[in-house]
Amino acid sequence: MLPKIIERDDLRAFVEALLADNVVVAPIRKGEKYVFSEVETFDEIALDYNISLLSPKKFFYPQIETVLKFKIGDRPESQAITEASPVIIFGIHPCDIAATWLLDEVFKEDPADPNYLEKRKKAVLIGLNCAQPCDEFSFCRDMGSYNVEEGFDLMLTDLGEKYFVEIGSKLGEEILVEGAHFRDATSGDLKDRQAYQEKKETNFVKRIPYDTKFLPEILEESYDSLVWDAIAKRCFSCGSCNIVCPTCYCFNVTDEVAASAAEGERKRVWDSCQLAEFTEVAGGEVFREERSSRLRHRFFRKGKWLLERYGKLGCVGCGRCDRNCLVKINSVEVYTQLAGEPVQ
C-alpha cells in the first residue's frame, strides 16, 4: 500500500479522533521513566520517549490473568475465560513490534492460546520510528530489530513538519480512510524518508564484535564455558531480566479457591526461568539448580533456541534486561566474552 503523509499540526486531530471512539494506549511519562498506559488526551502522549519500563505485551499477555473459573461440589463445573477488548496501541517502537511478532508465533502454535490471540486480534498497532538508539543499553542494530517492515498496522516516521505514514495492514488502511488529514506521499516525501533512513543507519551502530548470525554456533561452543560461572557469581537470580523482557512468555498457573471452598479461579502469572523453583518438579527435584545453568539457559533461549524454532532471534536488543539488572550484567559484554573478544 502506498504511504501517506500527515502534517505535524494535524496529528493531534487524528489522535483525538481515535480517542473519541476507542481505547488508546500510548507512552506517558511516569516520574523519570515512561510507561504504556491508557490515555484520554493527546497531550498525555510522550512522543519523544526513549523506552518504556515494560513493553506493550502486557496488553496482550497480562501479568496476572484469569483463564478458568470453577465450582467444586458433587458435580464440578468449569468455564474457560477469554476476555478481550479492542485497543489501539499508539507509539510502539520497532523493537517492540519485532518482539510482538515473536509472541504471535509462539502463542499461535498448536495448541493455540485463545487468551493471547483474542486480545491480539482486537489490537491495532501504530508504530513510531526511532531516529537514534534509546540509550547506551540498546543493541537493536545487532539483533536486526531497529527497522521493521511488518507486524504493524501503521508506522509513523517523524520528518520534522510532517509524518511519513507506512500502511502495514488492511486495518491500518481503514483507520486512515476515516481520517481526513492524510495525503498521498510525493516523490519529495519519499526522498525525505530516504534521507531519514540514511541518517538512522549512521546513528545505530553495531555493538557486538561479530555478525549475530554466528551467535547460535558461538553459544553452542560456549556451553561449558567458565564465563557462565563467572557471571553467575554476580547474578541474584531475581528474575528482573525476564519480567521486563518483551519476548519472555513463561508463566506459572495457580488456583485460588474462595473462602467458601465452593468455587475458585485458575490464573496464570508471569514467571522467570532465573528462579530456582521454576524447574522444580514432583519430588522436589530442581533440574537447573545451579545459578549459572539458569543464566546460561536465558542466553541460549534468546540467541539460539528461539532462532532455530521461529527463524528470528529471541532478543530484540531493547536493553531492558541490562538497564534493570541490579548487578549490571550486560548482554553485549556476555556475547563478546563468549566469543573470546576483549570487552571494551
Chain center to CA of 128: 14
160 and 283 in a single domain? The answer is: no
Q: How far apart are CA 311 and CA 179, in angstroms?
A: 37
Does residue 267 fall inside a structural domain?
no
**pLDDT computed for residue 73 by the predictor:** 81
pLDDT tens per residue, range 137-192? 999 999 999 999 999 999 999 999 999 999 999 999 998 876 668 999 999 999 99
pLDDT at site 170: 94
Verify that 148 and 221 share a domain, yes or no. no
Residue for grid cell 496488553: 59
Residue type at 83 in one-letter notation: E
CA distances 337 to 330, 334, 344, Å, are 11, 5, 10
Inside any domain, residue 123:
yes
34 and 144 within one domain: yes
pLDDT band at 59 (very low <50, low <70, confident <90, very high): very high
Residue 92 lies in a domain: yes
* CA-wise closest residue to 212 among 303, 277, 127, 302: 303
Cβ atoms within 10 A of the Cβ of 97, count?
A: 25
Lowest-confidence pick of 168-172, 283-287, 299-303, 318-322: 283-287
Position 170: which residue type? K
Residue 266 belongs to some domain of the structure: no
Per the structure, the count of domains in the chain is 2
**Inter-residue contact 138 to 132 (CB < 8 Å):** no
Identify whether residues 137 and 219 lie together within a single domain.
no
Q: Tell me, yes or no, whether 301 lies in a domain.
A: yes
pLDDT on residue 344:
63
pTM as predicted: 0.94
pLDDT in tens, 201-214: 999 999 999 999 99
CA distance 321 to 303: 14
Is 287 exposed, middle or buried, given 0-12, 13-18 or 19+ CB atoms closer than 10 A?
A: exposed
Domain assignment present for 218: yes
> How many percent of the chain have pLDDT more than 90?
88
In a domain, 12, yes or no: yes
**Which residues span the domain enclosing 326?**
212-249+273-338
For 226-276, write each residue's pLDDT tens digit: 999 999 999 999 999 999 999 999 999 999 998 888 899 999 999 999 999
> Do 144 and 167 have their domain in common?
yes
Which of 190, 101, 193 lies closest to 145, judged by CA?
101
Give me the pLDDT at residue 117, please: 97
Nearest one of 124, 137, 136, 196 to 162, comparing CA atoms = 196
